[in-house]
């Protein structure tokens, strides 16, 4: 998912996927074709404000990736 167009980060939350993008409108349009082309069924997409948990998971994942690079 990290190579998907417009996607900066992604995390699974139960049966949902929270995706961090710079522009929701552009990302939704790009992901509507990208995901099904890879066999991923999309039931619903909508922009949401990130929760505190979303921010924590994103920052933790970034820190882990930076540590792996060093």
Instruction: Please say if the pLDDT value at position 65 is more than 80.
Output: no
Q: How many domains does the chain contain in total? A: 1
pLDDT at 1: 59
Q: What is the pTM of this model?
A: 0.67
Residue 1 within a domain: no
Instruction: Please say if the pLDDT value at position 2 is more than 60.
Output: no
Nearest to 4 by CA among 59, 29, 45: 29
Q: Does residue 57 or residue 25 have the better pLDDT? A: 25
Can you read off the two tokens belonging to residue 35?
């995901």
In angstroms, the CA 45 to CA 62 distance is: 24
Could you tell me the residue range of the domain that residue 26 belongs to? 9-69
Report the SS3 class of residue 57: helix
DSSP 50: P
pLDDT at 44: 92
Residue 55 within a domain: yes
Q: Does residue 36 or residue 70 have the better pLDDT? A: 36
Residue 46 within a domain: yes
Average pLDDT, the chain: 85
């Amino acid at each position: 998912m990290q190579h998907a167009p417009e996607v900066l980060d992604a995390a699974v939350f139960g049966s949902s996927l929270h995706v961090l993008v710079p522009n929701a409108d552009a990302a939704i349009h790009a992901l509507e074709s990208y995901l099904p082309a890879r066999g991923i069924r999309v039931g619903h997409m909508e922009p949401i404000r990130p929760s505190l948990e979303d921010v924590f998971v994103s920052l933790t994942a970034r820190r882990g990736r930076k540590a792996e690079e060093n």
